[in-house]
Amino acid sequence: MRRLITIALAFVISGAGASAQTRRPARKLVPPPPPAPLTKVAPEITCPAPLGVGTTTKLSFCDVMTGRDPAAGILIAIPPHKGPVTLTFDLHNRHTYSEEQVKANRAYARYTATVGVLTMDNTLISRAVAQSEFRNASDLVDRIGGGAGPGGAKAVAPTGTEPIIVTIPEAEERVSILGEKLTYERLDGAPATYTSPGRPVAIISNVMIEYRPAPPKAAPKPVQKRR
């Protein structure tokens, strides 16, 4: 009887060993790679109407023209990315400075400029508005070099600053900034609104984008030739 029990146990142990030998080890789950960190850069910009560089800030200022064709606006290129992109820029009103009017206390002006950020198929992503008042030279953001005024400054200068933040959908590779309208009020006349195409209605500067770079594309597998 003891011999039969011993033989039976030997068979059980032998079977368990064989089962352990054929059992595959559990696969370790490899976590996906972490997403690329956000990158903030000054993007590539196509400015159809550059105003110039500020004498103090050294920023590049670009006129925003009214229009209906996105291809004619300020074009901002977006590098390959994953997820939405954050576009930021400073929107300014556009003032023609006159020292004589300032001295005569007749330089007051109030501006309300409206611009749009659009996709290249003319879909509006967001509107932005800048409203400011001008009374004297201290209301100017900067003077623009390359003009015939005192110190070589241009008469046209940015006034007022409105920081703008726009979220660009992931599918877009380029967007356009176009002017919509300008309302201008002054001491010696009724308010006037301008919407006709081809008119400068605002100025932008300090354009930046923040995005998550797209993961690198996997290298194609070599094609094996059949023998």
CA 101 to CA 111: how far, in whole Å? 17
Amino acid letter, 136:
N
Taking only the tens place, the pLDDT of each residue in 73-131 is 999 999 999 999 999 999 999 999 999 999 999 999 999 999 999 999 999 999 999 99
Q: How far apart are the first and last CA of the chain?
A: 65
CA 11 to CA 119: how far, in whole Å? 75
Instruction: Read off the pTM.
Output: 0.81
Q: Which residue has the tokens 């008119």?
A: 199
Residue 176: in which H helix or E strand, if any? strand 174-186
Taking only the tens place, the pLDDT of each residue in 68-89 is 999 999 999 999 999 999 999 9
| 16, pLDDT greater than 60 | no
Find all residues with CB under 8 Å of 154, minimum gap 6, and list them: 51, 52, 143, 144, 145, 146, 147, 148
Report, as an integer, the average pLDDT of 193-207: 96
Cβ–Cβ contacts within 10 Å for residue 34, how many? 6
